[in-house]
Structure 1
Amino acid sequence: MTIGAQVAAHLPYLRRYARALCGSQTAGDAYVRATLEAALADADLAASLAGGRVPLYAAFSKLWTGAQVAPVGDGGSSDLDVATQLRLDRVTPVSRQALLLTTLEDFSPAEAGAVLGLSKDEVEDLVASAVAEIDRDSSTNVLIIEDEPLIAMQLEDLVSGLGHSICGTAATRTQAQEVVEQEMPGLVLADIQLADGSSGLDAVADILALAPVPVIFITAYPERLLTGDRPEPTYLITKPFKEESVRAAIAQALFFGSSRPLN
């Protein structure tokens, strides 16, 4: 079996992890590409990838930690790049890896430890440290775009419990536009498929045309975004979701700051 066939099922999620870790789709993809190239050049590494997600993520982590490939920016030095780097400097990289592995990627602490070469207890300590660092960021106002009332209420409670305010909830693209006319959110949580058949992607695009707001997509259809054919959202959570995953994504989104439009 080829390396491509061995990792095909895991590759979209490794790319998602790399984007969240680097704060850039271009840089994340560069690290993923370098990981696959390393596997092609190393027969032992290639053989290990047959073991599933853990060895694949471990190979990526070893390369990323060793900085054997330089991050590639999204085109020049921007205010976002500088702000992101300043935030990154405040959180230990391995803590950020532990947080993302156990929340966004749903590894157990033991599995994340195997990826990072650490014990289960060390991973749990790192996650707690990362959350504490990120939670020091100031609170913001949040727009929830979700057409299922129970899920919208669950997200409202979760967001409020983190110390943020709710500037509005919307079940359609039009309702989202009405909320934004009154108050621009500092963060958006958005479903893709909305009540009247409108698209959460279009609702988000409307907002990003006005301001570079961090966005987290929460959807039962992640495959619609994880295509590799277009710019993809850094923060994408699959329904049914774990509240811990949403908390981690919120922390990461605010940590990295603004989003770029999807186009």
Structure 2
Amino acid sequence: MHDLALHILLFLFAAAFIAGFIDSIAGGGGMITIPAMLIAGIPPLETLGTNKLQSLFGSGSASLAYARYGHVSLKEQLPMAAMAALGSVFGALLATVVPADALKAVLPFLLIAIAVYFGCKPNIGDVERHHRITKLAFTLTFVPLIGFYDGVFGPGTGSFFMLGFVTLGGFGIIKATAHTKFLNFGSNLGAFFVFLAYGVVFWKVGLTMGAGQFLGAQVGSRFAMAKGAKIIKPLLVVVSIALAVRLLADPAHPLRIWLGM
């Protein structure tokens, strides 16, 4: 795996660029990078570990872009990012010993519910509303819970963070997107260290894809800030549905096995 052909590395770079663009706006970049690495012949566990490395570049790049334009204060959000990282550490440790079949079975329906919520809620835009939970409570409960999920499994983490910031925090959609990226960075970082300890990270692939993620996230975040809710909301709906469909299309999905499909 250390001697992948140049055209395979270029393919992975391009996949990461597209994933970084999409992920910086609506999340769901993993539905592009994980299949791309599997197609390239990288084993599943190494794919998960390497995906966390390259995802750090995308979420970090988007966080810096949103912070630069004043949509998030990274310093103020550090406690939340730390809690996301802590949750993902425990999630990744659990993932090494417990199958994630239950999460795989339920996840597509949760993603479809998120798509329906954002698609049918007409008043979700760039304007902030009254929050339903204190910042401290949000930091100590919702954030580590989603971080834990990211460590165990991962797909749709950005969508879940977005849902929390909008419904519980009362954030406008651009602010929610900006804050989601730094929490994604935290959860990626926590899980990455666990996978690194287990020796399942391919550095050459991760750094190559990380460069693509970084550039894609820079382009995507600027596009999101220019278009606002007009682009973020529909893309979030599309990405959530696409991720749900991709998960259900997997012959190894627990629901398909149970139904004998």
TM-score for the superposition, normalised by structure 2? 0.27
Query: More relative contact order in 1 or in 2 (CA 8 Å, sep 6+)?
Result: 2
Q: Which has more strand, going by share of residues?
A: 1
Q: Which structure has the larger Rg over C-alpha atoms?
A: 1
Structure whose residues are more often helix by fraction: 2
